[in-house]
């Protein structure tokens, strides 16, 4: 607590988190994450989580694919990027590659 008896706000800026576990459930955090990167992290947020913000953060291979803003609880999110899991991106690439090769083979047969 500061001298005014108000909770202090923590700002975490440009930090990279790898394979970390964040349990925000049931907490009023007064914490902002700005320009951070979360890679293979687990973030747990429930209806009782409050005073938490993510701005311009990148989430790669995490358990979340979106953040919901809730003004009443003080949950804020802005300009975040959610990268699909590597396995999902690899499967999509392999599917598109197979389709391209099939189209190429069909084109050669007709010409």
Q: Where in the chain are the domains?
A: 10-84
What is the reported pLDDT for 6? Answer: 58
Neighbours of 94 (CB within 10 A): 10
Q: What is the pLDDT of residue 54?
A: 98
Q: Is the pTM of this model over 0.95?
A: no
Q: Over 17-85, what HEC string results?
A: EECCEEECCCCEEEEEEECCEEECCEEECCCCCEEEEEECCEEECCCCCCCCCECCCCEEEECCEEECC
* Residue 3 pLDDT greater than 60, yes or no: no
Lowest mean pLDDT among 33-37, 63-67, 106-110: 106-110
Question: With left for phi above 0 and alpha for psi between -120 and 50, is residue 54 left, alpha or beta?
Answer: beta
What does the pLDDT read at residue 1? 41
């Amino acid at each position: 607590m500061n001298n005014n008896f108000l909770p202090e706000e923590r700002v975490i800026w440009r930090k990279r988190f790898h394979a970390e576990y964040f349990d925000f459930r049931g907490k009023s955090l007064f914490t902002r994450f700005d320009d951070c990167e979360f890679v293979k992290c687990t973030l747990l947020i429930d209806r009782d989580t409050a005073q938490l913000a993510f701005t311009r953060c990148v989430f790669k291979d995490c358990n979340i694919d979106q953040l919901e803003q809730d003004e009443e609880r003080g949950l804020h999110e802005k300009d975040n990027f959610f990268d699909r899991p590597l396995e999902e991106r690899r499967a999509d690439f392999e599917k598109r590659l197979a389709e391209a090769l099939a189209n190429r083979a069909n084109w050669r047969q007709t010409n």
